[in-house]
A and B are shown apart, each in its own frame.
Chain A
Amino acid sequence: MAWYKNIYDWLEHRLQLEGPIKHEIMHPVPRKTASWWYVFGSASFVLLMLQIVTGILLGLVYAPSAAHAWDSLQVLNHDLPLGWFLRAMHGWGSNFMVAVVLIHMAQVFLFGAHKYPRELTWVLGVFMLLMTLGMAFTGQVLRFDQDSYWGLGIGASIMGRVPFIGGPLVHLMLGGPMINGATLTRFFALHVFVIPGTLLAFTAMHVWMVLKLGINEWPTPGRIVRRETYIAEYTELAHKDGLPFVPGAVWKDLVFSAAILFAVAVCAAVFGPYGPTGTPDPTIIATVPKPDFFFLWLYTVLSFLPPELETPFLLIVPPIAVAILVALPFVAGVGEKSWWRRPVAVFSVMFIAICFGVFTHLGTYTPWSPIMNAWSGAPIPVELLHNRTPLERQGANVLQQKQCRNCHQLGGLGGQRGPALDTVATRLTEDQLIRQVLQGGGNMPAYGAALSPAETTALVAYLKTLRPHYQPPAVDASRGVVAMNTK
């Protein structure tokens, strides 16, 4: 007998794990569930493992102190061999994990997996999603750069809006009235001990229930879930038309997980680690902090909401959303599982996905936000200065120097707060331009007090030239009427 067989037998004689494990992994699953649609849960688990392994390695170097965190990330990025790759794997792993968890959730919802008897599996899953997002946020804080600093500021100001206990909550979150050394220690404890510990325990329960209750069968229209008959029907399906999980279904999980890990590695190698961006110093005002992609939608929503709606939105919508998710299996715990018979479910997922996509896309280029260095950094396209008179060129200088470009684009460069000015002369007459510049309006401030008459004249002279040669300039329609009446 080979030596490794001896060791195995010695261990097995004492542990006696072979029987239970074999029983679990060989349990029959319905044949149709051995599908590529059923791989996202295991991929989330594999990504969690990747995050734990890379996280432990990062924890060996990372210094959770406000004074040293940023520097320790620089050490990882520049001084340690492959330290940057480790950071990139952890960062991209977190992105993939959020994405795969969301896909997993949408898939089980569309397949009706939250219905009887898997309600608790779903509810645990909802909390695991919240913990995954919590890991993402606390992880972004640990990066302790400009984004992290201001992200904390936003988080604290959201907390501070809770009625009555807002102040103490902020104090609890930041470890003081402001962002300080204790803040980072707290978030380190959350990111490294509290949330992952709970997440692992929840994951164990989640997987345990999947094993005990069986994987959700492939939904068939007309196959109605009834509390009285479901278990018997499922057992019959799994045994009559089933196959053992290993090796019947497991290989797809393995291949997909490997592909996801490979994709994480490729992203890490090609796009590299996240930041850290600038040092977390509030005296640096030349910064445009942004959350990581999974919170960009929230960033967009908060930018577009009128100020008086922000607090209600922040304090009422998240609890309602969580309550809806938790209540879902209890409200819709039986009945049809198939998406062909659940149009509301399908349209809800589509609606949420489209909103998430659109808000995230807007968050990437922030059309609501002025670009504060466009006035000195965004050149005017050469063709928009061609054949201009000296006065018009001075007008272009006024346009730049008075920072019009921070909100108005020319040639695709500049802010998008106001309309692009490339063809403004086809829309506004000289009088209208003068009025708009001096008095503002339509969200634009009045510049009358900031411009001398000469500057206004030069600016408007330049703006009047901004139209394509094939389009006529804007005309005051009333002039034609007056001219006709005076004839």
Chain B
Amino acid sequence: MKTRSMLSIMFSARFAFCAVLLLTATLPFAGCRLPGKPGEGPEVPRPEQVTNFDTLYGSNCAGCHGANGQNGSAMNLANPTYQSLVDDATLRDVIANGEPGTLMPAFGTKQGGMLTEQQIDAIVAGLRARWNKGNVLAGQNAPAYKAAHAGDAAKGEQAYQTACAQCHEAAPQKPAQGGSIRDGSFLALVNEQTIRTTVIAGRPDLGMPDWRGLVKGRALSEDEITDVTAWLMAQKPATPGQPYPGAGQQGPARIPTPNPVKQ
């Protein structure tokens, strides 16, 4: 009895050992899907050779424009209207050289950024592939991306009261739910193009309609958009961002400025 049970134990132990050995030996051959097998190409390519859109967008754009091109602090890129409004050359220019007068920095190597022209092309192509839903503006008589002529600021206030005031503010210091856009600091951090693009394309991620939905029953006209932009930019104070309004204009400043530090 004893020998038989010993034998069977030895047999099963040997069997288990062989099975483990076999498993170990076949482990590396078990198809090409072992999780440890390195993917194609080097694990860390040279930074200028990265052309994957997700990687480039994720490390250069997502910070301000949002993880999915929406709900970021800056422009809503995943907006089909915006995608139809702006052409490739403009996108490329804004990414490479930044948008002057705004917080959009230059990313092109010629401007001191880290992105090569191929990488910027890859980002533009990726933006289009991901968020362009065809030309949604076809036949909509949409205003152009750039204003054709300077706006008339005097006429702009009327357009503002018609189109913007209900959500932003009718009079200074009386903001509505959309928050003030007549704030001096806000106006100092945007340029005419920011306002024009936002008016035309809207911010669907924030619930702001595009130029067709701002006034009930009709779309804003090209002139109204140009004029309201000009009027808003004219509201920018000479010394924006003073914590005590008017401090920069009325005689000597209330807080003595320290001697400028040598840079």
Binding site for B on A (CB under 8 A): 74, 77-78, 82, 84-85, 88, 145-146, 262, 265-266, 268-273, 275-279, 281, 284, 286, 373-380, 382, 385, 388-394, 396-401, 405, 434, 449, 452-458, 461
User: A residues within 8 A CB of B239?
Assistant: 453
Q: Which of B123-131, B132-140, B173-181, B219-227 is the interface stretch?
A: B173-181
Contact B36 A373 (CB under 8 A): no
Contact A400 B189 (CB under 8 A): no
Question: Are A77 and B38 CB-contacts (below 8 A) given A390-B180, A449-B261, A458-B186?
Answer: yes
> Residue-by-residue, is B163-181 near A (CB-CB < 8 Å gives 1, otherwise 0)?
0000010000001001111
> Residue-by-residue, is B244-263 near A (CB-CB < 8 Å gives 1, otherwise 0)?
00000000000000000101
Residue in B38, B47, B63, B71 whose beta carbon sits within 8 Å of that of A378 in the complex: B63
Contact A380 B114 (CB under 8 A): no
- Known contacts A77-B43, A377-B60; 12 further A-B pairs (Cβ under 8 A): A78-B38, A262-B24, A268-B36, A271-B36, A275-B43, A275-B44, A278-B44, A397-B64, A400-B73, A454-B185, A457-B185, A458-B185
Residue in A78, A375, A449, A455 whose beta carbon sits within 8 Å of that of B241 in the complex: A455
> Residue-by-residue, is B57-84 near A (CB-CB < 8 Å gives 1, otherwise 0)?
0111111101100011110000000000
User: B residues within 8 A CB of A461?
Assistant: 185
User: A residues within 8 A CB of B72?
Assistant: 379-380, 385
User: A residues within 8 A CB of B189?
Assistant: 394, 397-398, 454-455, 458
- Enumerate the 10 nearest inter-chain pairs by beta-carbon distance, A residue then B residue, closest first: A389-B179, A272-B36, A453-B241, A396-B73, A454-B241, A454-B188, A457-B185, A454-B185, A278-B44, A457-B241
B112 within 8 A of A: no
Question: Binding site of A, secondary structure by majority: helix, strand, loop or mixed?
Answer: helix
User: B residues within 8 A CB of A392?
Assistant: 179
Question: Are A284 and B179 CB-contacts (below 8 A) given A377-B62, A385-B72, A452-B188?
Answer: no
Contact A382 B71 (CB under 8 A): yes
Contact B36 A380 (CB under 8 A): no
Question: Are A277 and B35 CB-contacts (below 8 A) given A394-B186, A457-B243, A458-B185?
Answer: no
Contact A375 B63 (CB under 8 A): yes
Residue in A78, A279, A374 whose beta carbon sits within 8 Å of that of B63 in the complex: A374
B4 within 8 A of A: no
* A-contacting residues, B1-53, CB 8 Å: 20, 24, 27-28, 34-38, 40-47
Interface size on B, residues (CB 8 A): 53
B242 within 8 A of A: yes
Contact A388 B179 (CB under 8 A): yes
Contact A84 B36 (CB under 8 A): yes
Q: Which residue of A lies closest to B28 (CB)?
A: A85
B240 within 8 A of A: yes
Contact B181 A273 (CB under 8 A): no
B183 within 8 A of A: yes
User: A residues within 8 A CB of B180?
Assistant: 389-391
Residue in A145, A376, A389, A390 whose beta carbon sits within 8 Å of that of B64 in the complex: A376
User: A residues within 8 A CB of B108?
Assistant: none
User: B residues within 8 A CB of A453?
Assistant: 185, 239-242
User: B residues within 8 A CB of A385?
Assistant: 71-73
User: B residues within 8 A CB of A377?
Assistant: 58-60, 62-63
Contact A452 B241 (CB under 8 A): yes
Question: Are A262 and B20 CB-contacts (below 8 A) given A279-B46, A390-B186, A394-B185?
Answer: yes
> Residue-by-residue, is B181-198 near A (CB-CB < 8 Å gives 1, otherwise 0)?
101111011100000000
Of the listed residues A373, A392, A397, A398, the one surrounded by the most CB atoms of chain B closer than 10 A to its CB is A397
Ordered by A's residue number, 25 sampled pairs between the chains whose C-beta atoms are within 8 Å are: A77-B38, A78-B38, A84-B36, A88-B36, A268-B36, A270-B34, A273-B36, A276-B43, A278-B45, A281-B46, A373-B59, A376-B59, A376-B61, A377-B62, A378-B62, A382-B71, A390-B178, A390-B181, A391-B180, A391-B183, A396-B64, A397-B74, A400-B64, A405-B63, A434-B243
